[in-house]
Amino acid sequence: MEAYLDNAATTRAFDSVKDIMVETLSIDYGNPSSKHLKGVEAERYIRDAKDIISKRLKVEPKEIIFTSGGTESNNMALIGTALANKRRGNHIITTRIEHPSVHNPLIFLEENGFQVTYVPVNQYGNVILEELLNAIGEDTILVSIMYVNNEIGSVQKIHEISKAIKTKNPNVIFHVDAIQAFGKYNIYPKREGIDLLSVSGHKIHGPKGIGFLYVKDKVKIKPILFGGGQQKGMRSGTENVPAIAGLGQAVKEIYENHDEKIKNLYYIKKSFIEKVSQIEGTTINGVGDRLEDSAPHIVSVSFEGVKSEVLLHALEEKGVYVSSGSACSSNHPALSGTLKAIGVREDLLDSTLRFSFSVNTNMEEIQYAVNILKELVPVLRKFRRH
């Protein structure tokens, strides 16, 4: 048996996504910039996907820019906004628990004269609002805060944060990395006060290599890719029609019977936490008294006395697939900044795994994974003591 519990890293594409992509690769394969019928047919897929996404977010189609994925969306939001607004100020605010695709562009901006303030979070990974507000000044041009943390599943009160930011300084642009949140929550940028929103396709059963950035109308942002002027000059390059069509289909399908899907995810998460907590020396990270205050699909577990990488590969041999943190930082292994920021004990920083679920996850997989953990953890602890 197999148990794929690494859905925060990537999800299996819906069959309907695969089907529409095959259609655009084999039948409607024209370049959407071409003026002939094949080009018009290809362009229709882009328009349809934009309509699906904009209706879901309750925004205008012109406010959606397709990108190569979450990383590009975050880079475009941060670098593009900083460059476009540098005459107004050079101060940016973020948190200590952001994804590398936010953290690293900000390091780049710091190296190029911008000032970045990193505000702390509490033990559950929630932004300390007072600290955030204290950091906002007249020269603050941008605040970037993720909706759902990719390692521990903490959920920020985005509307409340936005309201507080805009009250302190109405000119601040608010960027939200919603890569782990979109598909799990009903997100309405205009209602929640979000100016820029990043989304990735492969987290919601769409293809890899595609995402989008919502840019609120009239928000000043500069492109970071230049070429043939596609997407009104905001993101040059021939549009990836198969991936865009697949993304639109994934958005459509992930939100069908949405409440039921999320209710089931919370049931799976609750069951997993109850079962894995029976193993001696386990700690669940970032979850408070109310399970619903955390995301429905992510659980961070520390296993005292067991190296995370050793346990990860031992699970892999039994067909259980999990992560030791953010998949995007796995090429540069280091102790998690998120776990440090929420105060996880030092001896547990290198003993933590992330288990993440999707609409495809079932209770048989959960039970199998827990059984394997109960078998492996005591053995690996003995081995480490020797």
Confidence of residue 288 (pLDDT cuts 50, 70, 90): confident
Confidence of residue 91 (pLDDT cuts 50, 70, 90): very high
CATH of domain 15-254: 3.40.640.10
pLDDT value at residue 280:
95
The two structure tokens encoding residue 234 = 């905001």
Q: What is the mean pLDDT of the chain?
A: 95
Which residues form the catalytic set? 328
CATH 3.90.1150.10 maps onto the chain at: 3-11+258-385
User: Residue 329: pLDDT above 80?
Assistant: no
Please write down the HEC assignment for all residues of the chain: CCEECECCCCCCCCHHHHHHHHHHHHCCCCCCCCCCHHHHHHHHHHHHHHHHHHHHHCCCHHHEEEECCHHHHHHHHHHHHHHHCCCCCCEEEEECCCCHHHHHHHHHHHHCCCEEEEECECCCCCECHHHHHHHCCCCEEEEEEECECCCCCEECCHHHHHHHHHHHCCCCEEEEECCCCECCECCCHHHHCCCEEEEEHHHCCCCCCCEEEEECCCCCCCCCCCCCCCHHHCCCCCCCHHHHHHHHHHHHHHCCCHHHHHHHHHHHHHHHHHHHCCCCCEEEECCCCCHHHECCCEEEEEECCCCHHHHHHHHHHCCEECECCCHHHCCCCCCCHHHHHCCCCHHHCCCEEEEECCCCCCHHHHHHHHHHHHHHHHHHHHHHHC
pTM to 2 decimal places: 0.95
Each residue's pLDDT tens digit, 6-28: 999 999 999 999 999 999 999 99
pLDDT value at residue 332:
43
Confidence of residue 331 (pLDDT cuts 50, 70, 90): very low
Task: Provide the percentage of residues in the chain whose pLDDT is more than 90.
Answer: 94
pLDDT value at residue 386:
44
Each residue's pLDDT tens digit, 239-279: 999 999 999 999 999 999 999 999 999 999 999 999 999 99
User: Residue 187: pLDDT above 90?
Assistant: yes
pLDDT value at residue 81:
98
CATH 3.40.640.10 maps onto the chain at: 15-254
Lowest mean pLDDT among 83-97, 268-282, 320-334: 320-334
Q: Tell me the mean pLDDT in the region 171-188.
A: 98
Neighbours of 55 (CB within 10 A): 12
pLDDT value at residue 384:
63
pLDDT value at residue 325:
65
pLDDT value at residue 336:
79
* Cα–Cα distance for residue pair 288/276, rounded to 1 Å: 16
Q: Tell me the mean pLDDT in the region 148-157.
A: 97
Which of the given ranges, 253-267, 277-291, 323-337, has the highest pLDDT on average? 253-267
pLDDT value at residue 334:
58
User: Residue 152: pLDDT above 60?
Assistant: yes
CATH of domain 3-11+258-385: 3.90.1150.10
* Cα–Cα distance for residue pair 174/190, rounded to 1 Å: 11
